[in-house]
Amino acid sequence: MNFDTVKVLVIDDDPIMISYVVNLLQRIGVGQVIQAKDGSTGLAIAASDKPDVILSDIHMTPMDGLEFVRNLRKHPVTDLRRTPVLIMSADSSTDKLNEALPLGIAGYIVKPPAISALQVKLEQALKFRYVR
C-alpha cells in the first residue's frame, strides 16, 4: 500500500515515543505526520488538520486516550467522528483493550511497535475508514 498521501496524527505524552513512532511512519512512507502531547491537544489538532488515521496512547494526562476517543466519537463533524483510531499502549492487558473496543477503535498496538506491525495496523485502519 502506498502511504504517501496519508496524514497521521500521533498523540502521546512521551516525546521519545512520539519521535520513535514518527520515525517508523516516515520509514513506511507516510506523507504527513502531525503530533500532539495529550488527548485535548489531539482533539483540537484533529478538528483542524483532519487526519486520515490517529494513533493515540492510552495513558496520558489531562485527557487519556480512551477519553480522547469518546470525545472524538461525539464530535459534531461526522467525518471527524469516523476517523479510525489505533490505540497504543505498553500495557498489553485485555482490560484496556476491552474498554477500548466498544469505542469503535480500528486496532490496538503494543508499544513500542515493530515497523511491520505498525504498517499492517495502518493498512487495516485505512480500510476501516472506508467501511464505517
Task: Provide the CATH number for the domain around residue 105.
Answer: 3.40.50.2300
Q: What is the rounded average pLDDT for all residues in the chain?
A: 92
Q: How many angstroms separate the CA atoms of 5 and 44, rounded? A: 22
Which residue segment(s) compose the domain that 58 sits in? 7-131
Q: Is residue 1 part of a domain?
A: no
On the question of pLDDT at 15 being above 70, the answer is yes
pLDDT at 83 (0 to 100) = 95
What pLDDT digit, counting tens, does each position of 80-123 carry? 999 999 999 887 677 777 888 899 899 999 999 999 999 999 99
Domains contained in the chain, number: 1
What pLDDT digit, counting tens, does each position of 115-128 carry? 999 999 999 999 86
Using CB atoms within 10 Å of the CB of residue 48, give its burial: 0 to 12 exposed, 13 to 18 middle, 19+ buried: exposed
Q: Is residue 2 part of a domain?
A: no
Q: pLDDT confidence of 132, banded at 50, 70, 90?
A: very low
Partnered with residue 87 across adjacent β-strands are 56, 108
Q: Is residue 37 part of a domain?
A: yes
Q: Is residue 58 part of a domain?
A: yes
- The separation between the first and the last C-alpha atoms of the chain, rounded to the nearest angstrom, is 20
Percent of the chain surpassing pLDDT 70: 95
What pLDDT digit, counting tens, does each position of 42-60 carry? 999 999 999 999 999 998 9
Q: Is residue 107 part of a domain?
A: yes
